[in-house]
């Protein structure tokens, strides 16, 4: 794709910056930014962050492969668990929470994909740090929206990550293909799986961004963040399929948004969610997404009102 | 003897200084403790959920709920002690090699490996030691008071348990110092903590579960006989939870093997450490 440099939006940005110090009437009135300008700015942000991420690609690929190592332990652990309650394999295979031994391994592999979409390392703490150190002033002056900027850089990071991680992921899934007893799901289910991954990414983003906005009210959020991360790790289904939880706890957890970060996409792929309920579940997920977008926007607007920046 | 006393005094000073440092930021210290305990609680929750669905880990291994929680307590004892005493030092060692700060350690009139290994103590990690103590106490109580097959460990097994917990720590220490010594050749070893996580991940489950299949058997052999991390927790936990005397499957030989491997790995890591120092080229000025 060819793109002119500097993109048309960049000029607009420069002038807007300098207008802070230079009296505005020295310049002819600026044309209002068109949608084309915006797209150009977004493209520029995306491209820069993409380049930034691809610098450490070797380390990246190796790190991704290493991240699958704990799954080996999980395979042995679950084989031993299923072995002690009945047959781990075969036609009368034992089940825990609707998952057989092979399902369980497939589940852990799929949550790795789900987490690759929904985990946002450093997002909330990064926002809180920007607020604390006053870096956030930049976004109050420049005609760039903080949340849109963060979202774009995050998308770029994720794209760079997938571009490199696809090889180790493909290798591991190929080696572990026997664990997927059901094979590929039907096309509608697969599309729902893809949709839940994308929404999982967005929910993860807006949830963490909203938590980061707490930084406008409290200076130190790291401990609060840790508690939330702990809950999210446990209740997202990253450690075990949520259906293993006792009935009463499961009812509550089903109404929380954490399950969309890991459990839900994996359960869709393994067809553990009945097809007639799938559409309803997807709508609930979309509802949570809208909720977090609004929450994040309100928190940012309120926070900026409270915020006072000094110096420069 | 006098030399030994001198080393103990130096270590006491290190420990005191670290404590003073930790206590300077008390709230931070407190939060670190709370977060480690939160992590522990989550793991305990996970295992409790597993035992909601099964009676034991593995058919016929004897690792039922109470015994397995003794196993977890052992894991927690060993890991917390290693992370409190050696983890911060091993990380700093890698950093010293990169920055050339090792020069100052080499100049000091004390054994370099001692200085490198004991300089910092991360006191907050000891909160997990107490968490392990609580888990052990509860599971020992349950084990002694349950209807089916109650058990109280004998005095001998408690003594042996303590001995082999120490052996386990020494094996872990050797693995860690070996890993960090490799940064002399690699220049930098930032993924030390990751390696550490993956290795302890293998050692935290009963070794029997690995001993099957074309993937498991080589892993079992590698981590028992070459890099003996499977023995670290398994041997002491077996001694306490499931007396090894008069067993048919020859599991008691693992105890002997663990003792041999402790001596061997400490010596091997010491040799490798000295070897790595010879290859060290200062990075300063």
- Indicate yes or no: CB of A234 within 8 angstroms of CB of B42: yes
Q: Please report residues of B whose CB lies closer than 8 A to that of A246.
A: 52
Name the residue among A73, A240, A246 with its Cβ closest to that of B202: A73
- Residue A82: closest CA among A157, A179, A215: A179
**In this predicted model, which residue has the larger pLDDT, B156 or A21?**
B156
- Residue B229: closest CA among B198, B274, B250, B270: B198
Please say whether the beta carbons of A259 and A237 come within 8 A.
yes
Residue A266 has pLDDT above 90, yes or no: yes
- What are the tens digits of pLDDT across the range B171-219? 999 988 888 887 777 765 566 667 778 878 888 888 888 888 888 888 8
Model pTM score: 0.82
The pLDDT of residue B65 is: 87
Q: What is the mean pLDDT of residues B123-143?
A: 92
Name the residue among A72, A84, A244 with its Cβ closest to that of B56: A84
Report d(CA A204, CA A292) in Å as an integer: 9
Q: By three-state DSSP, how is residue B64 classified?
A: strand
- Indicate yes or no: CB of B55 within 8 angstroms of CB of A84: yes
Q: By three-state DSSP, how is residue A19 classified?
A: coil
Provide the pLDDT confidence category of residue A263 given band limits of 50, 70 and 90.
very high
Q: Please report residues of B whose CB lies closer than 8 A to that of A81.
A: 50, 53-54, 57-58
The pLDDT of residue A11 is: 38
Q: Please report residues of A whose CB lies closer than 8 A to that of B61.
A: 80, 84
**In this predicted model, which residue has the larger pLDDT, A126 or A223?**
A126
Residue A286 has pLDDT above 70, yes or no: yes
The pLDDT of residue B44 is: 93
The pLDDT of residue A268 is: 92
Place of tokens 């995306």: A46
Q: What is the mean pLDDT of residues B233-248?
A: 74
The pLDDT of residue A22 is: 43
Q: What is the mean pLDDT of residues B247-274?
A: 85
Provide the pLDDT confidence category of residue B224 given band limits of 50, 70 and 90.
confident
Chain-wide mean pLDDT for chain A?
82
Share of chain B above pLDDT 70, in %: 93
Q: By three-state DSSP, how is residue A96 classified?
A: strand
Provide the pLDDT confidence category of residue A6 given band limits of 50, 70 and 90.
very low
Please say whether the beta carbons of B235 and B263 come within 8 A.
no
Residue A264 has pLDDT above 90, yes or no: yes
- Both structure tokens of B58: 């593995």
- Indicate yes or no: CB of B209 within 8 angstroms of CB of A79: yes
A13 located within any domain: no
- Indicate yes or no: CB of B55 within 8 angstroms of CB of A226: no
**Domain limits for position A178:** 55-306
The pLDDT of residue B250 is: 66
A9 located within any domain: no
Place of tokens 């196993």: B71
Please say whether the beta carbons of B127 and B29 come within 8 A.
no
Q: What is the mean pLDDT of residues B56-77?
A: 87
- Indicate yes or no: CB of A63 within 8 angstroms of CB of B194: yes
- Indicate yes or no: CB of B42 within 8 angstroms of CB of A239: yes
Residue A106, min C-alpha distance to chain B (Å): 17
Please say whether the beta carbons of B55 and A85 come within 8 A.
yes
Structural domains of chain A, count: 1
**In this predicted model, which residue has the larger pLDDT, A106 or A13?**
A106
- Indicate yes or no: CB of A77 within 8 angstroms of CB of B209: yes
- Indicate yes or no: CB of A85 within 8 angstroms of CB of B55: yes
Query: From A67, which residue of chain B is nearest by alpha-carbon distance?
Result: B198
A7 located within any domain: no
- Indicate yes or no: CB of A223 within 8 angstroms of CB of B206: no
Q: Please report residues of B whose CB lies closer than 8 A to that of A77.
A: 57, 205, 209
Q: Which of A59, A61, A74, A76 to mutate to test the interface with B (most CBs of B within 10 A)?
A: A76
- What are the tens digits of pLDDT across the range A191-233? 999 999 999 999 999 999 999 998 888 877 777 788 888 888 8
The pLDDT of residue B134 is: 95
The pLDDT of residue A91 is: 66
Provide the pLDDT confidence category of residue A306 given band limits of 50, 70 and 90.
confident
Helices A8-18 and A35-53: angle between axes, nearest 10 degrees: 90
Name the residue among B49, B191, B205 with its Cβ closest to that of A77: B205
A41 located within any domain: no
Provide the pLDDT confidence category of residue A1 given band limits of 50, 70 and 90.
very low
A34 located within any domain: no
The pLDDT of residue A15 is: 37
The pLDDT of residue A7 is: 43
- Indicate yes or no: CB of A244 within 8 angstroms of CB of B49: yes
Task: Summarize chain A as % helix, strand, coil (round to 5).
Answer: 75, 0, 25
Please say whether the beta carbons of B180 and B93 come within 8 A.
yes
**In this predicted model, which residue has the larger pLDDT, A5 or A184?**
A184
- Indicate yes or no: CB of A226 within 8 angstroms of CB of B206: no
Residue B73 has pLDDT above 90, yes or no: yes
Place of tokens 């668990």: A81
- Indicate yes or no: CB of A233 within 8 angstroms of CB of B194: no
The pLDDT of residue B153 is: 84
Name the residue among B35, B49, B57 with its Cβ closest to that of A245: B49
Longest distance between any two alpha carbons in chain A, whole Å: 82
A23 located within any domain: no
Q: Please report residues of A whose CB lies closer than 8 A to that of B216.
A: 76
A236 located within any domain: yes
**ipTM exceeds 0.95, yes or no:** no
The pLDDT of residue B133 is: 94
Please say whether the beta carbons of A228 and A234 come within 8 A.
no
Residue A73, min C-alpha distance to chain B (Å): 6
A257 located within any domain: yes
- Indicate yes or no: CB of B205 within 8 angstroms of CB of A73: yes
Query: From B56, which residue of chain A is nearest by alpha-carbon distance?
Result: A84
Q: Please report residues of B whose CB lies closer than 8 A to that of A227.
A: 38
Provide the pLDDT confidence category of residue B253 given band limits of 50, 70 and 90.
confident
Helices (H), A119-262: 123-133, 137-141, 146-175, 187-213, 222-235, 247-254
């Amino acid at each position: 794709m060819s793109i002119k440099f500097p993109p048309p939006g960049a000029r607009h940005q420069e002038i807007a910056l300098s207008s802070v110090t230079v009296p505005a009437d020295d310049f002819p009135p600026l044309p209002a930014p068109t949608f084309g300008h915006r797209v150009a700015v977004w493209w520029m942000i995306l491209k820069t962050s993409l380049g930034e991420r691809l610098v450490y690609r070797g380390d990246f690929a190796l790190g991704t492969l290493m991240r699958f190592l704990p799954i080996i332990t999980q395979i042995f652990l679950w084989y031993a668990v299923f072995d002690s309650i009945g047959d781990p394999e075969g036609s009368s295979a034992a089940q825990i929470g609707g998952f057989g031994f092979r399902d369980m391994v497939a589940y852990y592999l799929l949550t790795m994909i789900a987490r690759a979409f929904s985990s946002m390392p450093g997002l909330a703490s990064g926002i809180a740090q920007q607020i604390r150190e006053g870096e956030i002033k930049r976004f109050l002056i420049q005609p760039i929206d903080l949340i849109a900027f963060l979202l774009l850089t995050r998308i770029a990071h994720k794209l760079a990550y997938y571009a490199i991680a696809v090889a180790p992921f493909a290798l591991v899934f190929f080696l572990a293909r026997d664990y997927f007893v059901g094979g590929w799901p039907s096309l509608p289910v697969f599309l729902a799986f893809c949709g839940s991954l994308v929404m999982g990414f967005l929910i993860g983003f807006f949830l963490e961004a909203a938590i980061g906005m707490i930084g406008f009210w409290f200076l130190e959020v790291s401990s609060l963040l840790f508690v939330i991360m702990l809950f999210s790790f446990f209740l997202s289904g990253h450690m075990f399929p949520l259906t293993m939880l006792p009935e009463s706890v499961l009812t509550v957890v089903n109404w929380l948004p954490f399950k969309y970060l890991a459990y839900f996409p994996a359960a869709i792929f393994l067809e553990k969610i009945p097809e007639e309920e799938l559409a309803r579940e997807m709508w609930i997920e979309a509802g949570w997404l809208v909720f977090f977008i609004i929450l994040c926007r309100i928190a940012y607007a309120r926070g900026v009102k409270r915020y006072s920046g000094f110096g420069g | 003897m006098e030399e030994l006393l001198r080393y103990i005094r130096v270590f006491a000073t290190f420990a005191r200084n670290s404590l003073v440092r930790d206590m300077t930021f008390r709230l931070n210290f407190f939060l670190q403790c709370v977060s480690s305990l939160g992590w522990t609680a989550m793991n305990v929750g996970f295992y409790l959920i597993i035992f909601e669905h099964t009676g034991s880990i593995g058919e016929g291994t004897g690792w039922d709920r109470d015994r397995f929680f003794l196993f977890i307590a052992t894991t927690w004892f060993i890991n917390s002690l290693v992370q409190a005493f050696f983890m911060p030092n091993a990380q700093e060692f890698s950093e010293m090699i990169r920055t050339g700060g090792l020069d100052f350690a080499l100049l000091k009139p004390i054994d370099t490996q001692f200085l490198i290994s004991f300089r910092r103590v991360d006191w907050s990690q000891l909160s997990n030691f107490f968490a392990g103590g609580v888990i052990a106490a509860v599971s020992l109580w349950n084990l002694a008071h349950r209807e089916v097959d109650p058990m109280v460990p004998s005095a001998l097994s408690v003594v042996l348990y303590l001995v082999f917990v120490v052996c386990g720590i020494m094996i872990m220490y050797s693995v860690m110092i070996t890993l960090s010594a490799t940064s002399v050749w690699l220049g930098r070893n930032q993924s030390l903590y990751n390696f550490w996580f993956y290795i302890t991940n293998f050692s935290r489950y009963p070794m029997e579960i690995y001993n099957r299949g074309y993937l498991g058997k080589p892993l079992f052999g590698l981590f028992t006989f070459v890099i003996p991390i499977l023995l670290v927790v398994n041997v002491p936990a077996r001694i306490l939870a499931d007396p090894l005397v008069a067993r048919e499957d020859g599991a008691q030989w693992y105890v002997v093997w663990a003792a041999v491997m402790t001596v061997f790995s400490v010596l091997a890591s010491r040799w490798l450490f000295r070897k790595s120092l010879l290859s060290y080229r200062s990075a300063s000025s």
